[in-house]
Amino acid sequence: MEQSNDMGTAIFAGGCFWGVEYYMKKLSGVTDVVSGYIGGTKEEPAYEEVCTGTTGHAEAVRVTYDPQKTDYETIAKRFFEIHDPTHINRQGPDVGEQYRSEVFYSTPEQKQIAEKLIARLQAKGYKVATQLTPATTFWPAEEYHQDYYTRKGALPYCHGYTKRFD
């Protein structure tokens, strides 16, 4: 297998992007996490627009990682363990299409890994609502959304870690 110094990228929507960003940044091998919007029709959406539920966008994170230190499957497992993948259009008190659970895959391999993880969860009795969608343009959110919990010195209120895989 040929080694590459290229960075890997993964995009996930799992409710409020602040909590997903917080937990993804804690993973070894992750080099950057950006909160933003994806999956809708509005070009260059603003937070206020996404909150109306009319843009089709989800709050999401773009995770950049070093494939020499971690892999897509490890990051995708973490995604499924830091939000409730059985909820439709909500996480905790946040309700709306923009808070849906969705994997935005960039390669057939990413899609296959997500399908495999969903099948494992379903085999354990989880009614997984997570959608799998080809990645489109990812729009970074406004600067005040980046590193939110780190800047505020607070912990996520609608995300937590729940071990779901062996």
| DSSP bridge pairs for 54 | none
Active-site residue flag, 158: no
Q: How big is the chain, counted in residues?
A: 166
How would you label 101-133 residue by residue, b for 16+ Cβ within 10 Å and e otherwise? Answer: bbbbbeeeebbebbeebbebbeeeebebbbeee
Bridging pattern class, strands 131-134 and 101-105? parallel
Six-digit token string for 62: 């773009």
Please tell me which residue in 10, 11, 13, 16 is annotated as part of the active site. Answer: 16
Residue 39, φ and ψ in degrees, nearest 5:
100, 0
| Burial class, 166, CB count within 10 angstroms (exposed 0-12 / middle 13-18 / buried 19+) | exposed
Give the catalytic positions in this structure.
16
